[in-house]
């Protein structure tokens, strides 16, 4: 498992009964987690002294209960700064487990010895965008939500990247890739964090299990002659690391050579010293 263990401003303190107790900077949050199927005593004081608690509804969805939490605050990861705020469906605007991938591709970019153009698809609030830019890449950031793109711009500004070479686009990722193929534009690296299910600005339907493989095939057509890497993240049940590995090998290794790594990603749990699984990632690294 790839573990995001370099955080100082974030930690999973404890887990029990379908929930995780987290520290985001100086604030304590309780949020549901479907992986937490064990029931252990909630002895840590944070369970009672939390700043916010997201309660899941038996009918789907849920709602936040606030005790003493600002509308917005920030945390740092190394030399990056991220704005956080509680919003729909338990999220805060950041997936801290992805830091293990940020560290991985930042090293590749820094050691490439040449300018690297990165395409970040389904780019959300820009954790990968600011990480890749800070490492020296120029990044095209694409997300279908204008609100998420604006949030990502705030994160870039807070991380000292207001004037960095980032192209911000509110667009459907599938349609954008198709247009880039027709335009003849190419990228040295692609990062993808596709949702399990979603709709584009024009009502386009995305279902991960049906859409991802043909999409990867199209993505392979916008890689440069000297590609560096492709990163594919999955939070979809059933798309295990072996499935990601098979797809990446089929699409990219067969065409360009190189190698694929795939594994679960996770966060260390302070109280138990165990690791909470948080999805899976597949990494293709070109051998050229």
From the list 78, 70, 73, 87, the residue with the least C-alpha distance to 154 is 73
Q: Domains, the chain, ranges and CATH? A: 2-84 (2.60.40.1180), 96-285 (3.40.50.150)
CA distance linking residue 232 with residue 248, whole number of Å: 9
pLDDT tier for residue 104 given thresholds of 50, 70 and 90: very high
Contact 33, 15 (CB under 8 A): yes
pLDDT at residue 288 in the model: 60
CA distance linking residue 74 with residue 85, whole number of Å: 9
pLDDT tier for residue 201 given thresholds of 50, 70 and 90: low
CA distance linking residue 257 with residue 177, whole number of Å: 22
Is residue 47 helix, strand or coil? helix
CA distance linking residue 146 with residue 118, whole number of Å: 20
CA distance linking residue 2 with residue 281, whole number of Å: 9
CA distance linking residue 8 with residue 268, whole number of Å: 12
275-285 vs 229-234, strand pairing mode: antiparallel
Task: Give pLDDT tens digits for 108-148.
Answer: 999 999 999 999 999 999 999 999 999 999 999 999 999 99
pLDDT at residue 131 in the model: 98
């Amino acid at each position: 498992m790839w573990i995001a263990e370099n955080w100082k401003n974030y930690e999973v303190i404890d887990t029990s009964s379908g929930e995780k107790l987290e520290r985001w900077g100086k604030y304590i949050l309780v949020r549901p987690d479907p992986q937490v199927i064990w029931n252990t005593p909630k002895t840590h004081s944070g369970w009672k002294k939390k700043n916010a608690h997201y309660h899941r509804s038996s009918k789907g969805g849920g709602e936040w209960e606030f005790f003493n939490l600002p509308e917005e605050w920030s945390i740092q990861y190394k030399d990056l700064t991220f704005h956080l705020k509680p919003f729909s469906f338990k999220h805060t605007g950041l997936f801290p487990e992805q830091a293990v991938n940020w560290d991985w591709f930042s090293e590749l970019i820094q050691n490439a010895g040449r300018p690297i153009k990165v395409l970040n698809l389904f780019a959300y609030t820009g954790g990968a965008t600011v990480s890749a830019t800070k490492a020296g890449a120029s990044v095209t950031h694409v997300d279908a939500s204008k609100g998420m793109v604006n949030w990502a711009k705030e994160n870039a500004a807070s991380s000292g990247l207001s004037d960095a070479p980032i192209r911000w686009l509110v667009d459907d990722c599938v349609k954008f890739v198709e247009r880039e193929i027709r335009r003849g534009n190419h990228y040295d690296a692609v990062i993808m964090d596709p949702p399990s299910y979603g709709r584009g600005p024009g009502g386009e339907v995305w279902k991960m299990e049906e859409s991802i493989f043909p999409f990867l095939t199209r993505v392979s057509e916008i890689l440069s002659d000297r590609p560096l890497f492709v990163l594919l993240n999955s939070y979809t049940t059933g798309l295990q690391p072996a499935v990601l590995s098979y797809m990446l090998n089929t699409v990219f290794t067969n065409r360009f050579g190189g190698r694929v790594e795939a594994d679960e990603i996770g966060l260390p749990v302070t109280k138990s010293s165990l690791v909470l699984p948080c999805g899976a990632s597949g990494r293709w690294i070109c051998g050229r």
